[in-house]
Amino acid sequence: MIKTNHTMKLALVVGLIFILCSINQITSVLAAAEVNQEHDQNLMTYIVHVKKSDNVASFQSEDFHNWYHSFLPQNFPHKERMVFTYRNVASGFAVKLTPEEAKSLQEKGEVVSARPERTLSLHTTHTPTFLGLKQGQGLWSDDNLGKGVIIGLIDTGIYPFHPSFNDEGMPPPPAKWKGHCEFTGGTTCNNKLIGARNLDKSAIQEPPFETLIFHGTHTAAEAGGRFIEDASVFGNAKGVAAGMAPNAHIAMYKVCASGTRECYESSILAAMDIAIEDGVDVLSLSLGLDSTVPFFEDPIAIGAFAATQKGVFVSCSAANSGPEYSTLSNEAPWILTVGASTIDRKIVASAKIGNGDEFEGETLFQPKDFPQQLLPLVYAGSNGISSQNQNQSFCLPGSLKNIDVRGKVVLCDIGGGVSSVVKGQEVLNSGGVAMILANSEAIGFSTFAIAHVLPAVDVSYAAGLIIKDYINSTYNPTATVLFKGTVIGDSLAPSVVSFSSRGPSQESPGILKPDIIGPGVNILAAWAISVDNELPPYNIISGTSMSCPHLSGIAALIKSSHPDWSPAAIKSAIMTTANTLNLGGTPITDQRLLPADVFATGAGHVNPVKANDPGLVYDIQPEDYVPYLCGLGYSDKEIGVIVQWKVKCSDVKSIPEAQLNYPSFSILLGSESQFYTRTLTNVGPVNATYRVELEVPLALGMSVNPSVITFSEINEKISYSVDFLPQVKENRGNHTFAQGSLTWISDKHAVRIPISVIFK
């Protein structure tokens, strides 16, 4: 493979995007160069929620405008300052105000809240086969493939010319579709890509080369890309590329600012508002707030509630802030929260050291002509840990200039706020010939196939320690990198990747999150430009940004075969049928190669074929969330912002979080017993008998009543109760939490929900 400067530059871009998708903290560094386009420094965009008007049912869009304008002063420059008005996701609007104006607005009785908007950060050839989807069979039979379903993506934009979005053989969108196509320069939509809206209010100076569309192009293709023969990157991972729902229609709503990685809250609300109106069936959001806020202040939670009320399924990324606990975004129970896991395909290389040991890792750039003989090996950080040496150990830009790395293989530590591609560039600039990238302890055994600019391999933390020991104990250490290409069949897959955010939920600890894990590591899908000068262009990247659209596409497949199922029923089907074992038949592991706990996996790894036929579902209607929200301690006004109808908690029997009819249990257990009920709905055979099977969490007693349930009608609902009984504290040992499961089993179905118990 011949590398030109051109491909090297592209590889650099690819690396930056990878970072964006997998390591949240760095986005602020990358965004530092953004331009402030606000003319008046005192003006900020405020999100204003107002009390819902009693006449709203009869409102035309004119009336909405007039009503919202009535909250603002007489001579207010509406044209310049009103940013968005909302009608589905909120009673309210986004408007540019000075702090003084905002203050006087807040004092109006009809105004619920007015606060400055925040920004949110962005958080496949092979995945269908890995997920058991086979062309021409079952969910992927020619008359499903997501036919008739519309997936809306709230993302960075899309490259409309990619073959993944061709509409050959696709019918026109369903009659209910009301969306528009807003590309500049006369580009039109087609029967695949049926809508494209730009809600990036800061889009004043569109750069000629719009790098940001990469992310949205990739996620859209993962959810709904068409079948494309012979897709690959650098010749790796060759195969048929396809999204999860190749015959679903897709619509892109662009909410992130060109040239920065900032996605504005007002734009996200506007996008969800419009998408609901347009008639999407599924919404996919691979972005989120970095810190937890109450649901009534979270634009995605607010927008997703309105969507759920209209029957729209909402799938969101769990964020990339793992592996620490309580690092999730998008925790609301009406959202499907998706973590990321590996697939069984690796793009393999290994680090071979002078004593003959070989350590397997990954890289996307696989040169065919790299010599296999051993070369001198150096660890730039080998002289202790002064800050100078720490920079060197990370191979930060400029840090290697006083070290002789010419002609050598350089060992670099991952991290230090710089992408791995940039480290490789520093090694290359300093005369090094190859790089071994050692994981941090937190990243553990997770490895990433990255488009490096030189021969390189990413190895585990454990391998890095052994290689460092070898360097330390050898007079003339040597190493090389051996390239092994695409290898399929990793029996440890799926495993939870290091960066995938973990529960417990901070905003609602009584709901287990994430809900599910899906493919999010080294995923091949459409890209806006070719990374290997081979068209059509694809790239391989990682993130919960990638796993979320997989689940959006799977939800579209289920919606297509069960059009009458509610969003909660689809979610239940996905969760209760999830896999808890890997391909090797052992429990799913995490980045440490230890069994992953429920705060990493949720219900487990998605099994789309089983999800289409779950037997029973745990259904929830929109109004069921009100007693739950009252139970969270929110005020009537705060709940009104979310549900958009008048709520009086004093008239509603509020419930503890764990009493919501959710397809999992998350219990905070003290010394008292706890008692909950759940209701099952029969969506399987007319006559079916289920008996309960329990995996009782450590140091707990559980009883389920009844323990056998017989259904004799379709859609019949039957409730059962569960007691959680604490045992003596000593039985808990050192454990602060425990986990288990509750499964209803018939001769055809197993309907499993996970249980987490945090000891108070």
Distance CA 633, CA 638 (A): 10
CB of 419 to ligand NAG, least distance (A): 13
Binding mask 630-669 for ligand NAG (x = CB under 6 A): ----------------------------------------
> Which position among 391, 419, 644, 756 is part of the footprint of ligand NAG (CB under 6 A)?
391
> Which position among 564, 733, 736, 747 is part of the footprint of ligand NAG (CB under 6 A)?
733
Q: Which is nearer to ligand NAG, 687 or 727 (CB)?
A: 687
> Which position among 293, 594, 686, 708 is part of the footprint of ligand NAG (CB under 6 A)?
686
Tokens 């055994």 map to which residue? Answer: 445
> Which position among 37, 66, 440, 472 is part of the footprint of ligand NAG (CB under 6 A)?
472
> Which position among 346, 468, 571, 678 is part of the footprint of ligand NAG (CB under 6 A)?
468
CB of 462 to ligand NAG, least distance (A): 13
> Which position among 61, 66, 712, 727 is part of the footprint of ligand NAG (CB under 6 A)?
712
Using the contact rule CB under 6 A, the part of the chain among 337-345, 388-396, 475-483, 550-558 near ligand NAG is 388-396
29 near ligand NAG, judged by CB under 6 A: no
> Which position among 396, 540, 669, 755 is part of the footprint of ligand NAG (CB under 6 A)?
396
Distance CA 21, CA 445 (A): 19
CB-hemisphere CA count at 13 Å for 126? 26
Give the H or E element holding residue 627.
Answer: helix 625-631
734 near ligand NAG, judged by CB under 6 A: yes
> Is 215 annotated as catalytic?
yes
Integer Rg of the chain from CA:
26
Q: Which is nearer to ligand NAG, 396 or 453 (CB)?
A: 396
388 near ligand NAG, judged by CB under 6 A: yes
Q: Which of 266, 261, 265 is nearest to 289 (CA)?
A: 265
Binding mask 287-326 for ligand NAG (x = CB under 6 A): ----------------------------------------
Contacts of 623 (CB under 8 A, 6+ apart): none
Distance CA 198, CA 35 (A): 19
> Is 180 annotated as catalytic?
no
Question: For strand 708-711 and strand 358-362, is the pairing parallel, antiparallel, or unpaired?
Answer: unpaired
Strand order in the sheet with 262-264: 262-264, 119-122, 287-288
> Which position among 141, 355, 677, 687 is part of the footprint of ligand NAG (CB under 6 A)?
687
Using the contact rule CB under 6 A, the part of the chain among 195-203, 465-473, 633-641, 739-747 near ligand NAG is 465-473
Using the contact rule CB under 6 A, the part of the chain among 320-328, 385-393, 601-609, 752-760 near ligand NAG is 385-393
Give the H or E element holding residue 61.
Answer: helix 61-69
594 near ligand NAG, judged by CB under 6 A: no
Catalytic residue among 49, 162, 215, 749: 215
Catalytic residue among 49, 126, 155, 552: 155
Distance CA 303, CA 318 (A): 17
Distance CA 556, CA 150 (A): 8
Residues 221/225/229/230 CA torsion (nearest 10 deg): 10
CB of 395 to ligand NAG, least distance (A): 11
Q: Which of 24, 7, 587, 583 is nearest to 346 (CA)?
A: 583
Catalytic residue among 22, 286, 321, 545: 545
715 near ligand NAG, judged by CB under 6 A: no
Q: Which is nearer to ligand NAG, 130 or 379 (CB)?
A: 379
672 near ligand NAG, judged by CB under 6 A: no
> Is 545 annotated as catalytic?
yes
Distance CA 661, CA 679 (A): 7
Using the contact rule CB under 6 A, the part of the chain among 338-346, 464-472, 522-530, 688-696 near ligand NAG is 464-472
Distance CA 604, CA 606 (A): 7
Using the contact rule CB under 6 A, the part of the chain among 300-308, 386-394, 536-544, 723-731 near ligand NAG is 386-394
Q: Which is nearer to ligand NAG, 28 or 712 (CB)?
A: 712
Tell me, by CB under 6 A, how many residues bind ligand NAG: 12
Instruction: Report whether 353 contacts 467 (CB < 8 A).
Output: yes
What's at 302, amino acid-wise? I
Q: Which is nearer to ligand NAG, 372 or 734 (CB)?
A: 734
> Which position among 229, 469, 623, 723 is part of the footprint of ligand NAG (CB under 6 A)?
469
387 near ligand NAG, judged by CB under 6 A: yes
Q: What is the DSSP string of 208-242?
A: SS-TTHHHHHHHHHHHHPPPEEEEEETTEEEEEE-
CB-hemisphere CA count at 13 Å for 67? 23
Contacts of 564 (CB under 8 A, 6+ apart): none
Phi and psi for 596 in degrees, rounded to 5? -75, 140
Tokens 């029969």 map to which residue? Answer: 682
Binding mask 500-529 for ligand NAG (x = CB under 6 A): ------------------------------
Contacts of 350 (CB under 8 A, 6+ apart): 358, 359, 360, 361, 457, 481, 482, 484
Residues with a catalytic annotation lie at: 155, 215, 545
Residues binding ligand NAG (CB under 6 A): 387-388, 391, 396, 468-469, 472, 686-687, 712, 733-734
